[in-house]
Amino acid sequence: MTKIKESSTYNANREIVLQECPVTYVMNKIGGHWKPIILYHLLSGSKRYSEIKRAMPHISEKMLIQHLKQLENDNLLTREAKPVVPPYVTYTLTESGKELDSVIKAMSMWAFKDMKRNRVEEPVC
């Protein structure tokens, strides 16, 4: 987990904007390339670590746990580890996390519309 320097101008700006815009508030929680996709996969139900990994073949393990931890810190999902060997860890969306489905759905609907408009072939997701 890369640590974040608090003293940069970037972060100063971000904090100011955070106080001013709900959209930025959301982007700070689900922004980036991987977080929305993780959420997307968890919206269909709780999943084991390895299940998520298999569902997203192109993410590195480092990125996956890193974002899972961030999402956990942001109260979007919970982690449950059964003390067995081999380890059995499941990730489940919280209420906050589940309510994001309206956002994810709005995004998906817009995406499909826009792909059609720009004649991009539709994906299988």
Residues at the site binding DNA, with contacts judged by CB under 7 A? 1-2, 4-5, 8-11, 13, 32-34, 48-50, 58-63, 65, 68-69, 79, 81, 85-89
Residue 47, classed as helix, strand or coil, is: strand
Residue 102 contacts its own copies per CB under 8 A: yes
Name the one residue in this structure whose structure tokens are 């670590």.
Answer: 49
Q: Find the length of the chain.
A: 125
Name the one residue in this structure whose structure tokens are 């906050």.
Answer: 96
From DNA, its own copies, none, interface partner of 62 (C-beta below 5 to 8 A by class): DNA
Among the listed ranges 36-44, 46-54, 64-72, 84-92, the one in contact with its own copies (CB under 8 A) is 36-44
What token pair was written down for 62?
């480092």
The amino acid at residue 71 is: L
- Residue 123 phi/psi, 5° resolution? -85, 160
Binding site for its own copies (CB under 8 A): 13-14, 16-27, 29, 31-33, 36-37, 40, 58, 75, 96, 99-100, 102-115, 117-118, 123-125
